[in-house]
Amino acid sequence: MSDEHAGNEPSHTDTGPTDTGHAGTGPHGGVPGSSGHSDTVYTEHDEGWHAVDAVPATGAVWVVVGHGEALRDLAQAYGVSAQALRMLDAHPLSPESHDDSWRHLRGRVNRSNDGEILLSVPTASYVESTRDVVTGVLTCLVTDRLILTCERGDAGVLQRAAEKLCDGLPVPDTGVRQVLAAILLTLVNRASDVEAGLGDAVAELEQLVVEPGPGPTGERASGDRATGTKQTGNGVPGQDALGAIYRLKREIAEARRALGPMTSALPELEAETQDVHGPGLLHRRADATTAVWLRRVRERSDRIDAHLDSHDELLDAMLSVYLSNVSVRQNEDMRKISAWAAMITVPTLIAGIYGMNFQHMPELGWRFGYPLVLVVMAGACTLLFRAFRRSGWL
């Protein structure tokens, strides 16, 4: 922390943070009263970031909290301001929250008067086998030299970010801002993976809907297991195609709900680097590098959102094509029904006329009247059948 906030930071020893009322607290031992999940501590050295067993007295520190309910207790143990603790109290991951409200969390950036930043954004991951988008939530509490993070869900953002930092991969900025950069860049990379997976699923479904195939013996006539579609004997996608379209639209909407809060939070972080009068740590120690990578993350998230919007529009177009195919198929069925009805009408009419048995009907007394009527019926039906077949109705 800077000198003006040094009083908010506890003294650190080799056993971890000390705080009255939290005896025995350590970076790997958890906080008394928590679920017992272990926490991981990383610190920055000259050669990069490394996991450590004890919190150093100086330098940037990153703590990955193993359980959300321990986040506030650890923040208090590490000496964050009372206002930051109140922000955590209102957070869905606080100990008072035991429901699934975190699943519907909106992205937000809160800043205390002492400059601490509380960042909460949803995460997203893609399950290739089921074509499902799984969401979670990521929380970061950032101070001058300390960043506390907690993740719920299966996206694995913190694990990937830690691997990137510990492996020495290029990550912009320094200190806690470098950790924040690694987290946000990994977060947007995971969102890009989700967008790519959904794009592949949309492309496969498009081939089945727009180019249905030749018929029951064609390669596509049996449908596609991945997209969950089936086709009818005439090569038109069956009813499952409609369900597959709506399932993909639902997953795209889920991905956009996870990405949207991050796109709204990034401009607030960018504003922190430009707020000359504010106490925000991103401004106090930021340089041009911070603004550059924040802008890059925002531009990437905007591109991903635009791609998701394109996928959704393509699904709308596929839905229109599907409904058009259904309408065409219904018209073909109606033409076949009409053609057969016309052919049945001719013998029915002739049989109805001669079935009236009027007294003065000369054909009734003819020797070959009956076979002649049968020949006329068969000939008329044959002519109608050939005419309808030639016009494509049969």
The per-residue pLDDT string of the chain (394 residues; one tens digit each, 9 = 90 and over) reads 344 433 333 333 333 443 333 333 343 333 333 334 468 889 988 778 888 887 777 788 999 988 777 888 888 888 888 888 888 887 765 444 444 544 555 667 888 888 888 888 899 999 998 899 999 889 999 988 899 999 988 899 999 999 999 988 888 888 888 999 999 999 999 999 999 999 999 999 988 886 655 443 344 444 444 445 554 444 445 557 888 899 999 999 999 998 888 888 888 887 777 654 455 555 545 567 788 888 899 999 999 999 999 999 999 999 888 888 888 888 888 888 888 888 888 888 888 887 777 776 777 777 777 888 888 889 888 888 888 888 877 7
Q: Residue 124 belongs to what H/E stretch?
A: strand 117-127
Please state whether beta strands 146-152 and 61-64 pair in parallel, antiparallel, or not at all (unpaired).
parallel
Residue 77 contacts residue 66 (beta carbons within 8 Å): no
Hey, how many other C-beta atoms are within 10 angstroms of the C-beta on 36?
A: 12
In angstroms, the Cα distances linking 270 to 3, 40, 192, 263 are 24, 28, 21, 11
Please state whether beta strands 40-45 and 108-111 pair in parallel, antiparallel, or not at all (unpaired).
unpaired
Residue 83 identity: Q
Set out the domains of the chain in order of their start, with CATH numbers: 3-327 (3.30.460.20), 330-390 (1.20.58.340)
Residue 81 contacts residue 10 (beta carbons within 8 Å): no
**The length of the chain, given as a count of residues:** 394
Residue 122 contacts residue 262 (beta carbons within 8 Å): yes
Residue 260 contacts residue 308 (beta carbons within 8 Å): no
Contacts with 65 (C-beta within 8 Å, 6 or more apart), sequence order: 37, 39, 71, 74, 148, 149, 150
Please, where are the H alpha helices in the chain? 71-77, 82-89, 157-166, 175-210, 239-274, 281-284, 288-354, 369-390
Q: How far apart are CA 239 and CA 245, in angstroms?
A: 10
